[in-house]
Structure 1
Amino acid sequence: MNKVFMLMTFIGVPLSVIGSLMHWPSTLLFVIYCLTIIALASYMGRATESLAIVAGPRIGGLLNATFGNAVELIISIFALREGLVGVVLASLTGSVLGNLLLVAGLSFFIGGLKYKRQTFNVFDARHNSGLLMFAVILAFVIPEVFSFEMDSDETLGLSIGVAIILMTLYLAALFFKLVTHRGVYQSAENAESQHEEEPEWSKGKAILILLLATLAVAYVSENLVHTFETVAEQFGWTELFIGVIIVAIVGNAAEHASAVIMAYKNKMDVAVEIAFGSTLQVAMFVAPLLVLVSLMFETKMPLVFTMPELISMATAALLTIIISNDGETNWFEGLTLLAAYVIMGIGFFLL
C-alpha cells in the first residue's frame, strides 16, 4: 500500500502542476487533486505514527490531528478568500461528522473484526465527552439560536466572542492534558506498551516529511478550491454536499488512515485520540480561527450553521459520547456509527 501511495504522490504532484498550468478540464483536475491530497496525507499519517511511538499516544494523536486538520484549514482559508462561506461551514460540519462517525466508526469496526473487545483510557473518553458537549452542543447552538433575534453585525460580534472563548478553552484543555495532568490518568496497559514498537522514521525525518507534505497539500488545495463550482454544476451537487462529504473526506484523509491502522494494531488509545482529538480541534480551534481569519476578507463568516448541519453534529456527538463513555468498544458499535454517517450522507446528498 505504501508503494501505491508513493506512486500516486510522484505522479499526482507533477500532474497537478502541469494540469493547472495547462488549464485541463475542471472535472479531471478535481479527481487528480483529490487523489494527490489523499496520497500526501498517507505520508503525513506515517510520519505522525512514527512521532506517536516516540512521544506517546496523547501527543502522537494530537500531532496527527493537527497536521491532518492543517490540510482542511488550508483548503478552508482559500475557500474563504473566494467567498465560499457555505462550503467552509459545510466542510467543518463534514469534518466533525467524519471524525466522530466515519473515522471512529471504521476504527471500531476494523479493530473489532480482529479483536472481540477493545479498550481505551476511560478517563480520556469522559474528558473528551465533556468538551464535545461544550463545543458542539453548546457553543455551536448558542450563535444559531441568538441569530434569530440579531442582525448580521450582532451575530458576527457574538461569533467572534464565542470563537475567542472556544480557542482559549481549547488551549487550556491542552495545558491540562499535556502539562498539569500528564500521566495522571494514564492506564497501566498503555504505560507498558508505549515503547514496544520501533518508529518507521526518526524524529527529524518524520517532522521534515510532515512539513514538505503540508506545503505540497497547500499548493494542491488552492487549486482544488477553484474546481468546486464547475464540478458542482456538472454533477448536480450542492455546495453543502461538496463541503460535508467531499472536502471533509479529502481534508481528513490522514486521520482516516492513521486511526484505522492504529485500531487494527489494537492501539485504541491512539485511534480514539485521533478521532476525538481531531473533532475537538476542529470545533474548538479550526472553526473559531476561520471566523477570525474571515475578518480579513470581504465576506465574513459568522459561526452560524444551517439547521441540518447543526442537528447532524449534535446527534453525532451524543451518539459517540454514549458509545465511547464506557472505555471499550467492538465491531457492532463501529457499525452503528458508520450507519449513522451513511444516513446523514444520504440526507445531505438529497437536500
Structure 2
Amino acid sequence: MVNKIFFITVLAGVPLSVVGRFMHWSEVLMFVIYCVTIIALAGYMGRATESLAIVAGPRIGGLLNATFGNAVELIISIFALREGLVAVVLASLTGSVLGNLLLVAGLSFFVGGLKHKRQEFNVYDARHNSGLLMFAVIVAFVIPEVFAQGMPEGKTMALSIGVSVILITLYLGALFFRLVTHRGVYQHKSEETGTHEEPEWSKGKALLILLISTGAVAFVSESLVHTFETVATRFGWSELFIGVIIVAVVGNAAEHASAIIMAYKNKMNIAVEIAIGSTLQIAMFIAPVLVLLSLLFQDSMPLVFTLPELISMVTAVLLAIVISNDGDTNWFEGATLLAAYLIMGIGFYLL
C-alpha cells in the first residue's frame, strides 16, 4: 500500500514540479509539492538501498545510502554558495549533523524500539564511529573556531583549507580501514548469524533506481531552494532556522526514510550505518569539500560556525556517543535523542 502511494506521488509529483516551476505557480504551493515529492523519491532510494545492502552487506549499503543522500545536500549547498549564501550553507551543515545524530537516529531507535524491545548493533563499529565523531566535530570544528578569534580573514581561510584537507584524508583512510584492511575483523554476531534474504531488486536495477531517484531529488531540491525566501517571509522563519532545520531535513530525506525502515525491520546495523555514517560523511567529507569548492566563487566559506551551531553539534555528538556506544538501544533512548532535537529546534526558531 505504501509503495503504491509512493509510486503515485512520484508519478504526479515530478511532472508537477517541472510544470509548476516553469509556469511560476505559487511558491508556497510549490514548496509543499517539492517536499512531498522528495519524500516519495526517498522511499524509492530506501528500497534500492535495502536491496543493495542484502547483496553487498550493511556497511556498503549504508555507505551508498549516505553518499547518494548527501549528494543532494552537496548540490543544494553548491547552488547556495554560488549565490553567496555562506551562512545558510554552514547552517545546513549544522542541521545535517543534528538531524542525522538526533532526528534520524532518534526516530530509528524509537520506531524500532516500539516493535522490538531491545535492538543490538555492531558495538565495534559504534566505538570506531565515536572516535571519528569526536575528532570531526569536537576537534576539527572547534579548533578553527578558537584560533579564528585572533586571526585576519585570510589566515582563517588558510586554516580552514588545511583542516579540510586533513579531514578528507582521514575520512578516506577510515573507509580504507573498514572496507579493505579490517573488513570483517570486527564482526557482530548479528552479521555472522544473519538469515539469507532475497533482495527486492537485482543489484543492477537497484543501482539504476538509486541513480535516477538521486537525479530527480537533486532537481526538485534545487527548485525547492528558490521557494525558501517566500516561505520564510510568509511563516516568519529566520535564515538560520531555514538552514538548520528545513534545508537539512529535506536535503537528507532519503537517509531519514531508509534508516527508519531498516530499524523497523530490526536491521540496526544498516540503520546505524546510515545515521552515523552520514554524519561522518557530512563532517569529514562534504563540509571540507564545500570549503575547497567555495574558493571558486566570489565568497569563500571558512570552516567557522556560530557559537549556537557549534555548541549544538558538540552536545549532539556527546549525547549520541553516550547512547550508542554500548551497541544496544531501545525506544526510550530514541525518545531522548528526539527530545534533544526538539529543544535545539525551538532554540534555533526563536534565535
TM-score interval, normalised by the smaller of the two chains: over 0.9
Structure 1 runs of 4+ with >6 Å offset: none
Give CA-to-partner distance per residue, 1:78-119, whole Å, 9 cap, x none: 111111111111111111001100111111111111112111
CA contact (8 A) 2:42 2:258 kept: no
Structure 1 position 68, deviation (Å): 1.0
- Aligned amino acid, residue 16 of structure 2: L
Q: Which moved more, 1:129-138 or 1:77-86?
A: 77-86
Residue 193 of structure 2 aligns to a residue in which SS? helix
Please state how far the C-alpha of 1:232 moved relative to its aligned partner.
Answer: 1.4
Q: Give the match for residue 262 of structure 1.
A: 262
Alignment partners' CA distance in 2, 1:71 and 1:3: 24
Tell me the CA shift for residue 258 of structure 1. Answer: 1.0
1:304 aligns to what SS in structure 2? coil
Q: Would you say the 8 A contact 1:323–1:333 is kept in 2?
A: yes
C-alpha distance after superposition, 1:266-301 (max 9, x if no partner): 111111111100000000001111111111111111
SS at match of 1:99: helix
Query: Secondary structure of 2:301's match?
Result: coil
Number of equivalent positions:
350
Match of 2:159 in 1: 158
Q: Is this contact kept in 1: 2:113–2:330, CA < 8 A?
A: yes
| TM-aligned CA deviation for residue 254 of structure 1 | 1.0
State the Cα distance separating 1:234 from its structure 2 match.
1.7
Structure 2 residue identity aligned to 1:254: A
Structure 1 CA distance for aligned equivalents of residues 253 and 330 of structure 2: 23
Deviation of 1:5 after TM superposition, in Å, equals 1.3
Deviation at 1:196, TM superposition (A): 2.0
- Alignment match, 1:340: 340
Q: CA deviation at 1:45?
A: 1.3
Q: Which amino acid aligns with 2:171?
A: Y
Q: d(CA) in 2 for partners of 1:78 and 1:214?
A: 16
Query: 1:263 aligns to what SS in structure 2?
Result: helix
Any conservation in 2 of the 1:69–1:282 contact (CA below 8 Å)?
A: yes
* Residue number in structure 1 paired with 2:288: 288
Residue 233 of structure 1: how far off its partner (Å): 1.6
Q: Which residue in 1 is equivalent to 2:115?
A: 114
Question: Percent of counterpart pairs with the same letter?
Answer: 78
Q: Does 2:76 align with 1:72?
A: no
Q: List alignment gaps of at least 5 residues for structure 2.
A: none
* 1:102–1:341 contact (8 Å) kept in structure 2: yes
2:12 maps to a residue whose letter is I
What is the one-letter code of the residue matched to 2:310?
A: L
Q: Partners in 1 of 2:3 and 2:245 — Cα distance?
A: 25
**What are the superposed Cα offsets for residues 50-81 of structure 1, whole Å, 9 maximum, x if unpaired?**
10010001111101111111111111111111
Asked if residue 212 in structure 1 is aligned to residue 215 in structure 2, the reply is no
Aligned to 1:88: 89
| Mapping 1:52-63, distance limit 5 Å | 52-63=53-64
TM-score (norm 1): 0.98
Are 1:177 and 2:178 matched, yes or no? Answer: yes
- Residue 273 of structure 2 corresponds to 273
Mean CA deviation greater in 31-40 or 247-256 = 31-40
* Partners of 2:218 and 2:189 in 1: CA distance: 40
Q: What's the CA shift string for 1:6-59, capped at 9, x where partnerless?
A: 111111111111111111122112221122122112111111111001000111
Letter in 2 for 1:249: V
Write the distance in 1 (CA, Å) between the matches of 2:340 and 2:87.
23
Tell which deviates more after alignment, 250-259 or 216-225.
Answer: 216-225
> Matched residue of 1:247: which SS?
helix
Which letter does structure 2 place at the counterpart of 1:185?
Y
Shift in Å, 1:188: 2.7
* Structure 2 residue identity aligned to 1:320: A
Report the Cα offset of residue 310 of structure 1.
0.4
Q: Secondary structure at the match of 2:200?
A: coil
Give 3-state SS (helix, strand or coil) of 1:32's partner.
Answer: helix
Alignment of 1:1-351 (within 5 A): 1-193=2-194, 196-351=196-351
Indicate conservation of the 8 Å contact 2:91/2:243, yes or no: yes
Query: What is the alpha-carbon distance in structure 1 between the residues aligned to residue 203 and residue 272 of structure 2?
Result: 23
Measure the CA separation in 2 of the matches of 1:73 and 1:60: 20
Letter in 2 for 1:326: D
Checking the alignment, whether the CA contact within 8 Å between 2:45 and 2:258 is kept in structure 1 is no
- Whether contact under 8 Å (1:136, 1:283) holds in the other structure is yes
Determine if contact 1:12/1:33 at 8 Å carries over to the other structure: yes
TM-aligned CA deviation for residue 142 of structure 1: 0.9
Q: Supply the distance in 1 between the matched residues of 2:264 and 2:221 (Cα, whole angstroms).
A: 30
Q: Which moved further from structure 2: 29-38 or 204-213? A: 29-38
Greater Cα shift, 167-176 or 83-92:
83-92
TM-score by structure 2 length? 0.98
Q: What one-letter code is carried by the residue in structure 2 that aligns with 1:228?
A: F
